[in-house]
Amino acid sequence: MKPLQIAVCALFLAGMQPAVAQQDPVRLSLEEAQKYALKHAYSLDYADMEVRAASYRNRELTAIGLPQINGDISFTNYLDLPTTVLPANAFNPAAPEDELVGVRFGTDYTSTASLRASQLIFDGTYFVGLKAAKTYVRLNQYGLEQSKNELRKNVTEAYALAAMASEAVQVLKDNMKSLESLLAETEKLFDSGFREELDVNQLQLQFSSLKNAVRQAERNVDITRNLLKFQIGMPVATPLELSTTLDELADVSYMPMMLERDVKLQGHTDILTNETNVQLRELNVRAERMAGAPNLGGVFTAQQQAFRNDMDFFSANSDWFPNTFWGLQLNVPIFSGFMRHNKVQQAKVEVERAKRQLEQVREGLELEIATQRANFASAMEVYNTEKENVALAEKIFNTTTRKYQEGLSGSFELQQAETQMLNAQSSFLQSAYEVITAKAALEKALDIQP
């Protein structure tokens, strides 16, 4: 997530915290925050639901090959019995041969109880579908792993932003404490006639600006922690403390190893995902071909029928008449007007597209890894440079402060040195954040998983 996006989300989250009873804060390291997110994050819940839905879909398809049993009971009341037309000479030999007579057969009430069972014996598309369903489950599992990798990266960025906000507060407070002491000393010198009022006013202005900066920085701490809680799926109202400092997150002592790590794309989650997609497309080709093969099924039906002129279906002297049979049904596709042929060709095109996408993903990963390694190397260089700049700016400020106290420099030089030091400290914090996020992006590109 980019810093600008993070800031926008943070401002949205700032007003989401309701009033709740005081509770002990939850203290999390970066690793603990990532583990918490893997259990509670909204984005991961959705990916997990996709896996579970695919698993149930697999079971649904498996059930098609199991016996299907259904029962039903029907009741019919004939307000007018059906009429059948027969030759009249069947009843009256003297009737003309072309004379017809209407005859009604049946009873006023009919009831039927049926039990039907069917069993798929052979269907090529069914067996291909079973394999495709299992492959689809695996595809969604890889999607879940991709979501986990993205989540770890996002949590790292949000945690680093919150840690940077906390560190910024401490830096500003340290500067404010130093400036407050210097202001008090200058006011005493002014009262004694050794300093001009301009010097006092200048320091008061600097001190007032620092106080405002501290208040804003403290609000940023709340905002960034709310964002972190949102990322990991923690209620925004829950108090949260960070146990990993920005310096610990930005420890670059072991980071050169990241630049030398071998690239192995074969087991990369993105590659596995797209390879599985190719397999699914190939199975679809097989399924379309098997649609032209015969399929065989068996059926069994048992019925009991009752015919009455009164509503006495269950009386002791009333009969129910059985009707039981079984059979086989063989469907043989003969000619579909080339429809099946064209479906197979469409499926083949989808295979070609999936293979092309796999090739594109492989090349894209190589480019992404090279880019993220370059970004990480640059971030490390900037971090080390900014660290040296902070030490140098603090040295300049301390020297200028000492000269100011000795009356060898004025408030303008002091203000300039302080601004320079604050800018250096701010740049250092930003560079630390960039190192952390660059490392997280490189780990995601390399598919490094804890």
Q: What are the tens digits of pLDDT across the range 82-91?
A: 888 888 888 8
CB atoms within 10 A of CB 175: 20
* pTM attached to this predicted model: 0.82
More confident site: 192 or 370: 370
CATH numeric code, 3-71+123-297+337-446: 1.20.1600.10
Residue 156 clears pLDDT 60, i.e. is over it: yes
Scanning the structure block, which residue is given the tokens 């200058």? 186
Residue 6 clears pLDDT 50, i.e. is over it: no
Q: What separation in angstroms does the CA of 359 have from each of 265, 275, 370, 441? A: 12, 10, 17, 22
What is the structure's pLDDT at 124?
Answer: 93
**pLDDT tens digits along 355-375:** 999 999 999 999 999 999 999
Determine whether 155 is exposed, middle or buried from the number of CB atoms within 10 Å of its CB (0-12, 13-18, 19+). buried
Q: Which residues contact 269 (CB under 8 A, 6 or more apart)?
A: 142, 145, 146, 149, 447
- Given a contact cutoff of 8 angstroms between Cβ atoms, the answer to whether 154 and 231 are in contact is yes
For the chain, the structural domain boundaries read 3-71+123-297+337-446
Whole-angstrom distance, CA of residue 323 vs CA of residue 306:
11
What is the structure's pLDDT at 9?
Answer: 45
What is the structure's pLDDT at 90?
Answer: 80
**305: which 2 tokens?**
């029928």
Which of 65-69, 228-232, 250-254, 398-402 comes out lowest in average pLDDT?
Answer: 250-254
Residue 207 clears pLDDT 80, i.e. is over it: yes
More confident site: 315 or 64: 64
CA-based nearest residue to 114, from 73, 55, 68, 167? 73
Residue 413 clears pLDDT 80, i.e. is over it: yes
What is the structure's pLDDT at 18?
Answer: 46
CA-based nearest residue to 434, from 131, 95, 156? 156
H/E segment holding residue 114: strand 109-122
**54: which 2 tokens?**
């695919």
Residue 14 clears pLDDT 60, i.e. is over it: no
Q: What separation in angstroms does the CA of 238 have from each of 16, 225, 376? A: 12, 10, 34
**252: which 2 tokens?**
């670059």
Percent above pLDDT 70 for the chain: 92
- Given a contact cutoff of 8 angstroms between Cβ atoms, the answer to whether 38 and 151 are in contact is yes
More confident site: 244 or 314: 244
CA-based nearest residue to 277, from 444, 143, 446? 143
What is the structure's pLDDT at 255?
Answer: 66
**226: which 2 tokens?**
């709310």
Average pLDDT over residues 374-399: 94
